[in-house]
Amino acid sequence: MRFTAKRFHYLKSNDSMPVANITIRQAYAADVDTIVSLGRKTFVETYGDNNKKEAVAAYVDQMFNHERIEKEVNTFGERFFIAYVGDLPVGFTKLSENRVPKGLNGKKKIQVERIYVLKEYQGFKIGTELIEKVLSVAKEEAYKIAWLSVWQKNNKAIQFYQKAGFVIYDTDTFQFGEELHDDFLMKKEIW
């Protein structure tokens, strides 16, 4: 599947304006290939310039292959949501109930595991729409805390999450190829 912004260039006339026809829906088994394609492309766009190409390629092959995403889509407690501009998939996010974060005991919590938007669609409120969607779902399902892990060198993502109301509450490490990356753990109280 090939993604291109050319079809919707008219939507990008003003960087301060949100894209008008964004839709977000929950993903199902039929959407596995879309998630795989989006995941592979957006991960390379996000992390390709700051990491060894071999490590990025290995991670993408491991985490964004058909079998793995199909298993995740069909796992109880894990849900993907895909953002569309018109009928073009431009981003996705994943909610997971299946991981227990350090330092958050007691309250019902859910992880915002991924938010990825195609590079040419960043800056048009699609990420904001995705985070608002998952926070709305979390609130409807009586979760009290949304949490996530973000690479400490990804300042753009950290600022995005802070703008959405997340605060850093701890640190963790993430094995990325042969390297150990330092992550921030962030949380947001859901009311």
Domain definitions of the chain by residue range = 20-189
Q: In this model, does residue 144 exceed pLDDT 60?
A: yes
pLDDT value of position 49: 83
Fold held by 20-189: Aminopeptidase (3.40.630)
pLDDT digits (tens, 9 = 90+) for 18-61: 556 899 999 999 999 999 999 999 999 988 888 788 889 998 99
DSSP string, 15-42: TTSPPTTEEEEE--GGGHHHHHHHHHHH
Split at pLDDT 50, 70, 90, the class of 4 is very low
Split at pLDDT 50, 70, 90, the class of 177 is confident
Q: What distance in Å separates the CA atoms of residue 62 and residue 52, rounded to the nearest whole number?
A: 15
Q: In this model, does residue 131 exceed pLDDT 90?
A: yes
Q: What distance in Å separates the CA atoms of residue 75 and residue 122, rounded to the nearest whole number?
A: 29
pTM score, two decimals?
A: 0.86
Which residues, 6+ apart, have CB-to-CB distance to 8 below 8 Å?
19, 85, 86, 88
φ, ψ for residue 112, nearest 5 deg: -90, 100
At CB < 8 A and 24+ separation, what contacts does 15-18 make? 15/123, 15/124, 17/124, 18/124, 18/125, 18/128, 18/129
Any idea which of 15-19, 86-90, 112-116, 171-175 has the lowest mean pLDDT? 15-19
pLDDT value of position 52: 85
